[in-house]
Chain A
Amino acid sequence: MELINVTIDNKKIEVPKGTTILNAARNNNISIPTLCYFELKDMNITNKPGSCRICVVEVAGRRNLAPACITECLPDMVINTNNIRVLNARRTVLELLLSDHPTDCLVCPKSGKCELQDLAIRFGIREVSFTGDKSTHKKDESPAIIRDMDKCVMCRRCEMMCNTFQTVGALSAINRGFEAVVAPAFEEDLSRTACTFCGQCVAVCPVGALSEVDHSSKVIRAINDPRKTVVVQTAPAVRVAIGEEFGLKPGSIATGRMAAALRRLGFDYVFDTDWAADLTIMEEGTELLGRLTKYLAGDKDVKIPLLTSCCPAWVKFFEHHFPDMKDIPSTAKSPQQMFGAIAKSYFAEKIGVKREDMIVVSVMPCLAKKYECARDEFKENGNPDVDFSITTRELAALIKQANLDFNSLPEEDFDSPLGESTGAGVIFGTTGGVIEAAVRTAYEIYTKTDCPQIDFQELRGLEGIRSATIDFNGLPINIGIAHGLSNARQLLEEIRDGKSTFHAIEIMACPGGCIDGGGQPLHHGNSDIIKARWEAIYQADKNLPIRKSHENRSVQKLYEEFLITPCGEKAHHLLHTHYFDRHTQFEVNLDKINSK
């Protein structure tokens, strides 16, 4: 690695060639402020349009100030990051941004977590020198995402996530000059685009321009309705992230405290989506083995590879972009929806509550789940299997509002029966986890022998596309894994071109899977937080006594008492779904969703 000498603020330093001024400074404890710049290190996600101009520095000999985030250090460069010229420029630029920004910080969903607010505090802004017109754009509320583009600072992070990382292309810069804004083409509503509601735009938005649709007040109302029995389920990735909202270090496993908090919030039954994840494995694993057996017997019509279908953003993505392949993904519903279907049938019957008197709430790391539970096919006579889906952030806010001191809550267990789960259910929360859980079960069912290993390291990791071959007692099973829809697209195109050699592929839309879903606590570009959650997921798996879905006693009992057999008739009716060709159909019916 070639090293070069530069001087930053009179300090002579040596940096590798190709280092940006920003990184050179940061590595030497000089913290240059940034806004549009965004990077998830080691995850191949960067946004550096060099457009906000907050990070400008003075480079000796240059006419203009240079953006530190994209200017590379050159040999003997002399850089000044804090002289009056630089400070005045940065302050002026920040005041310009503030002059075109609403001042409703007190009621902004990002208040306290807003990077623009942080800058205003850091710069000690007391007054904005500029007055004048402010941008006005129409507010847009989709089933999952609220766009309040008057707050947009044109950092283009959302555009990068939507286009580069997800290849969805729902958001891009439109208009020009002062009217420029990131929006769907023709400033359409998001619900009339191919948006998958993955929520990654919300996850990276530095300000309050993009936020989730907040259902927490509806949940409070339901809890306080004496006629309703309110059941809650929590997704695996929530437990490894919610602690961050209460000052715990990233990667803290807060399962027990979360269960305690939910009980104190007044939910009648505190259950676990992990239980439904185990159920999903029974169905999806059986479906995989069924298809595989036919395939190995030479059936030309059977669809291989099987694609997982837990991720609603991914489902909407292939419905829009690969409708010709909509019979390839597993027909198994996602754990959220399996849970809802069983809660409102098997469990409601068990406790003698009528379907319409039961409210199922899910706590998800995800925004697309809000959209998923509102899909028509997941309703019975208009009554949805899952009534409300709230995010990790919304749950944290509910806990804070209820005066609960999260960190001093006792560790409590989930309720029975839909709260008992295995380690296989927990790892659904990260990329590779669903397929690993499936392998643990499918191996034993297929080979009728105990699996010699339980940790499949070859399926784990944070690379965008991974693959491994698992030996099913002499039968090599090729497995593909992708997270990020751009990576999914690549694997799908290979299938379409007949080049894919995989038997099963797991796909999740978000970086790292659900651990960095659009509903998780904001990471502000710190990929160490995502890695800590990732490690915590596998730790939570290890902590559990049972780690294979088919060994879940409660699930076994469900089949014995109710479903009879995986992929059987009853299971087919309650636990499987079908997909739609949305190639030219973008409309999401908001009336139906709002009428809930």
Chain B
Amino acid sequence: MADTALPLEAGTTVNRPGLLNRIFLHNLPAKIAALPMMATVLVVFVGCTVWTIYYSFTNSKLLPTGKFIGFEQYERLFSTSRWNVSVSNLIAYGLMSLVFTLVIGFVLAVLIDQKIRFESAFRTIMLYPFALSFIVTGLVWQWIMNPTLGLQGTLRNLGWTGFTFDWIANPRMVLFALLIAGLWHGTGFCMVLMLAGLRSVDDEIWKAARIDGIPTWRTYVSIVIPMMRGVLVTAVVIIGSGIVRLYDLVVALTNGGPGISSEVPAKYVYNYMFSGGNIGQGLAAATMMLLTVLIIMIPWAYLEFGGKGRRT
């Protein structure tokens, strides 16, 4: 493991020859203690990523031994309807989920911030779904949305015969079914983040706005939300990177169905790697997911860390 750490260590010390020995012996226990971290960074986060990108350019089928074939896997990827459906699903679901999570999270946080009674009870109720797994979430909602015995069947039995809530079995509505379950799981958490943001705004600001006669809603829109920029950006990054990973919920709720109407990229990757026997294709799809995250991350990292350099 120490060997794998060599290139980077050596690279940072070329400017000061002669100190090389001290670089390795200095702080030796700390370096030994940090070996698992170095190994994780170099082998997993750097090594595995490079490996995945490299082998996405090969024609590997059952074993990753194929030869280099350029962008063929990617051409095939984007001519596969299942992948294209997955991508457009993710975009549609992602935008809806992002907007609704932020809006609901913010509205709930504002309501809870109005010096209400039972505040902690409301918070407890709103956050508990976040403690449950996506599998549990998906299975409960699958049962609630069961067309014959769930909500639809119940209301029809109670006399509302025209009631329709068959989203889970309807290819055009299944993304909304996913959305209901996803929002149930995640909005409480967004509310907690937003509430922390709201309460970090100085009370003096509120007093000043009240003295100036600015209406409350206007204070929120023009003063408080801009002041919460940090929390909002954090929330967007967290929700966004969660959306790209969307997998368990789909497996539990719809398993991609009906047909392929609720497939998502993460599921595509898994299926090609572990049951489709086409590793190159799965790796190409995984690389596209990586690219998506980089597109989200780089502007954020630039905003957050750019300019003043690293923060401590």
A, B bound: no
B interface, CB within 8 angstroms of A: none
